[in-house]
Amino acid sequence: MRQIRDEGIRFPDRYDKLPGVTKEFCESSIKYILKKIDENLEKFTYRFPAPASVNNVYPAIDNTDWTSSFWTGMLWLAYEVTGDEKYRRVAEIQLDSFKKRIDEKICIDTHDLGFLYSLSCVAAYKLTGNEEVKRTALMAADLLITRYFDKAGIIQAWGDLNDPGQRGRMIIDCCMNLPLLYWASEVTGDKKYYNIAYSHVSQAMKYIIREDASSYHTFYMDVETGKPKYGRTAQGYSDDSCWSRGQAWGIYGFSLSYIYSGDWELMELAKKVTNYFLNRLPEDYVCYWDLIFTDGQEERDSSAAAIAACGMLEIAKHLPLSDPYKRIYENAALMIVKSLAENYTTASCPQSNGILLHAVYSKPHRKGVDECNIWGDYYYFEALVRLIKDWKLYW
Ligand code: GLY
């Protein structure tokens, strides 16, 4: 059997000390986020922020991209931390557009139905018990499982299932789409969603993660024979480098599959993937856009840092006190959040309607390079909420 190596932590001193992140620090960072949300509330009631900003300003778009729900998810977080009905009202207006998207099959050729419906309808159902949005989210789960190839045991990421360029391609990001399926099994009692999610994550563990615990961004499977083909990047530096955000999706995503399956192997994997990530952070703990870069002139990806912080906080929750990584991951998450709060927010760029500067959407496609991106804003907010309360996951 293939063994995935664990690098451990190469510079334990870096994660030894408790960074000064107090509850007051987090609350004041959240206050800034709420101020920015308030400024954006009208612009993004019936429309949504584009995935990435242009000159640090998000244009408004319809509910057509994979990212619409991150803004809705931020509204739910804002509602949770303040109890202010104005956030709930706007989030609920947006739920209509998520229903329309599923009913009318608008831009649904994607595995990102998981992101889209977890942070909109599932979050709404968990917080308000709204039965209608539960049905909408279940429709999304039903659509998501149509992308599953039985023989290969994977969910195809992008595009038409017969498109030869996309057929049988799975990507590391999909780990974050699986919670929609775990949730669907929980609320319906039908195991089929769970089985598909667990099969996918098991294949991802086997093929997307390399022996050194780094990740391919994408991996092709032969859907006719079920055999593995090869790894390819889409948004990373090269096929054999490790795209930072992909690794961050893995940190968080494998730990979420652990929660739903109880499979400790997934948690062990999440730890190895995390260690690889932590060993490649620059001085200020905010990764470059690909982990092949550890210093120099390349752009940072603040969004990957925020995702990884949430993932590490989740992992730490499940580790026993006797596991030294519990403290290391908590400290590392706090250091990242502190660095983001002190040096990466738009407080230094008042014309921006975003929250975190210096993210990269896709450098190879020259998309959203050194801009805000909406999922970075969401995960930064989620990390802070995790630090001030016992937050129940939308995932
Ligand atoms: N899931 C797409 C991305 O992270 O850019």
CA–CA distance, 148 with 146 (Å, rounded to integer):
5
Which residues, at least 6 apart from 367, have a Cβ–Cβ distance to it below 8 Å?
52, 361
Residue 173 designated active-site: yes
Helices (H) and strands (E) in the chain, counts: 13, 9
The pLDDT, as a whole number, for residue 2 is 84
Distance CA 325, CA 391 (A): 21
Residue 132 lies in a domain: yes
Q: Which atom of ligand 1 lies nearest, measured to the CA of 303?
A: 4
Strand partners, 228: 221
**How far is ligand 1, taken at its centre, from the CA of residue 234, in Å?**
10
How many Cα atoms sit within 13 Å of 134 on the Cβ side?
13
Mutate to test the pocket of ligand 1, among 118, 169, 375, 379 (most ligand atoms within 8 A of CB): 375
Which atom in ligand 1 lies closest to the alpha carbon of residue 249? 4
What local confidence, expressed as pLDDT, does residue 85 receive?
98
Report which of 155, 158, 159, 162 is spatially closest to residue 179, judged by C-alpha positions: 155
State the virtual CA torsion across 123, 334, 233, 196 in degrees, nearest 10.
-40
Domain containing 369 equals 12-388
Instruction: For residues 44-58, give the mean pLDDT.
Output: 98
Token duo for residue 205: 């563990």
How far is the C-alpha of 160 from the C-alpha of 158, rounded, in Å? 7
Q: Categorise residue 226: left if φ over 0, alpha if ψ from -120 to 50, beta otherwise.
A: left
pLDDT of res. 79: 98
Counting from 1 in the atom list of ligand 1, the atom nearest the Cα of 246 is 4
In a domain, 157, yes or no: yes
CA of 173 to the centre of ligand 1 (A): 6
pLDDT band at 166 (very low <50, low <70, confident <90, very high): very high
Q: Considering 173, 290, 370, 377, which one is annotated as catalytic?
A: 173
Report the CATH number that the domain containing residue 339 is assigned in CATH: 1.50.10.10
Residue listed under structure tokens 């948690």: 267
pLDDT of 20 reads 87
Q: Please, which pLDDT band fits residue 382 given cuts at 50, 70 and 90? A: very high
Is residue 203 situated within a structural domain? Answer: yes
Per-residue pLDDT of 295-334, as tens digits, reads 989 999 999 999 999 999 999 999 999 999 999 999 999 9
What's the pLDDT band for 64 if we cut at 50, 70, 90?
A: very high
Asked if 384 contacts 29 with a C-beta cutoff of 8 angstroms, the reply is yes
Residue 204 lies in a domain: yes
Give the number of other CB atoms < 10 A from CB of residue 11: 10
Phi, psi (deg, nearest 5) at residue 389:
-150, 170
| Length in residues, the chain | 395
Q: Decide if 362 is inside a domain.
A: yes
Each as own residue / partner, the long-range contacts of residues 294-302 (CB below 8 Å, 24 or more positions apart, any chain) are 299/358, 299/360, 299/363, 299/369, 299/370, 300/344, 300/358, 300/359, 300/360, 301/244, 301/245, 301/358, 301/359, 301/360, 301/376, 302/340, 302/344, 302/356, 302/357, 302/358, 302/359, 302/376, 302/380
The yes-or-no verdict on residue 43 having pLDDT over 90 is yes
Provide CB contacts within 8 A for 78, sequence distance 6+. Answer: 33, 34, 37, 84, 87, 381
Nearest CA to ligand 1 atom 5: 361
Residue 1 in this model has a pLDDT that exceeds 80: no
State residue 17's pLDDT score. 84
Q: Are 119 and 72 in contact (CB under 8 A)?
A: yes
Ligand 1 site residues (CB inside 6 A) read 173, 235, 245, 361
13, 61 in Cβ contact below 8 A?
Answer: no
Q: What are the C-alpha distances in Å from 57 to residues 53, 253, 349, 367?
A: 5, 29, 10, 14
- Ligand 1 center to 125 CA (angstroms): 25
3-class DSSP string for 230-258: EEECCCCCCCCCCEHHHHHHHHHHHHHHH
Catalytic residue among 16, 65, 112, 142: 112
Q: Which atom of ligand 1 is nearest to the CA of 362?
A: 5
Q: Give yes or no: 112 in active site.
A: yes
Of all residues in the chain, the percent with pLDDT exceeding 70 is 100
Gap from CA of 212 to ligand 1 centroid (Å): 22
Q: Is residue 394 included in any domain, yes or no?
A: no
Q: How far is the CA of 172 from the centre of ligand 1 (A)?
A: 9
In a domain, 4, yes or no: no
Q: How far is the CA of 275 from the centre of ligand 1 (A)?
A: 21
CA-nearest residue, atom 2 of ligand 1: 173
| Residue showing tokens 């000390």 | 17
pLDDT for 237-269, tens place per residue?
999 999 999 999 999 999 999 999 999 999 999
For the segment 326-372, what is each residue's pLDDT rounded down to a tens digit?
999 999 999 999 999 999 999 999 999 999 999 999 999 999 999 99
**Averaged pLDDT score across all residues of the chain:** 97
Within a domain: 6: no
Pocket test for ligand 1, best of 70, 174, 244, 245 (most atoms within 8 A of CB): 245
Domain count, the chain: 1
